[in-house]
Structure 1
């Protein structure tokens, strides 16, 4: 089966990567047991990194980026999936080592796909995408530790971004008192519409403490930012609290001591959405389709764009200009 279709194509020349919408054929796609007609994809920080050589995400160009996709099965060589099934894919090698979701067709390994959970449309699934799934994993780490709204307030850093904004909406829906931290003060009112009870600056969220521990402030922290501020935030987590760490937009290194862990029993939970085991992956996606479904994001936090505008969307997320979720409409349903 060979068809022509459109895809966002990255090419490298003289050390510089450029992207444009190009016509490809099914035969151009990498191997996989399932061919999907892609309807929607999302924009994540890793997608931005894939579009620049110094991002060190993609090793070989030309390439089709996009670490998310949702669509319908066109051809399946795996009995778990039938033609017409609505499926989604996030993580694994998609958009990193394997052609990704910014393409009207994608051929992927069957083990990477899950059927779209009942309660989510393909559009909603990609409004969430990797960022929303990462937020869901972060919330799961918090509630699995036994924390409840009665445990105390929760801080969300980078709250105007994809992971942060979805985390604010989920936690608020579950009844937590959420403080949203963002360097974009113009978005504070929007964060309150998502459910944040309070908003604070980036500086206040990582205000340095004297000594190895600071004021016991947060029952939990969702931290998709990372960097030096993470070390300071750890000092402010309450006894038996959790810091769920998922990102590095603030940097890859931070300093800490043993004191938060041995004096307050704090848990530093690493959040990995790429190789997440299938049982946990299914559990979190099913929660996102049901009790955790963050309707506030669908109502207030989506910027929908056609495939032709992927380049601008990637530039915005790299420049720190993206707010909420950028949804890419790949092909009409």
Structure 2
């Protein structure tokens, strides 16, 4: 028998070289085009971010150079007087506090809703609930703001009174019985606004949990909650963190809803229930139309601080996700 007829002939040398080139990088026209578009999109994004940062820095430097107060610690915003005095202490405090309150309320509720939809609710119920959550994510900010001003604020007196009666001794929840247009009200409204975003992303992450992981836990005698605690939550941890950062990004930059329900003032209240404070986005929206050129530069300077805070938050989120890469769906 001719051995050459029963064994596979080695591929030609040019075929081997072509396979090696395909393994190293894109050589086909479609692959090269896609690779070029992908790289171009990434470079364009970096160029746009650098242009935004450069513009904000240039205009902010003009305003800060003429500021007669400390830009970081001044509790005042007077850009139309001579000499101009303004600072971001109140704005930074209000932005961070309202966002933290919103995250503290929204994240546990959103994760619980996502778990209910994916692991507890029957199919006939999970579909409509998920659809309603999707609709909430599409509601414009101004609609939330109007609802907050007309419905939420008038009904906050009872909650504020209860918090004052039982937790007023902490100082954090003391109430002077003023209008409930405070940081807590803003935080609750922001929590309602970011709840659909966190819920939707978390729901999709929980749906990607390998069925074998859950079945193995059940086979070992685990309860449904133990399955969630040992299999679902570790797998979806990075996704929940990413969803939370998306929600936090919206909370940090929310404008019209905050401006509608907050009674702003340039002072820092120790209590979350008393009116006062402000946020970067709310201050820019309320003062931009009446500001002169220098006033707009000052507002742009505050926008630069918000830009930096957003970058820091997203960078911290990326570090957290990278440290927990073993739990991500891609590595499961």
Q: Same fold (TM over 0.5)?
A: no
Q: What's the TM-score, normalizing by structure 1? A: 0.23
Greater CA radius of gyration, 1 or 2? 2
TM-score, normalized by length of structure 2? 0.23
> Which has the larger helix fraction?
2
Q: More strand by proportion, 1 or 2?
A: 1
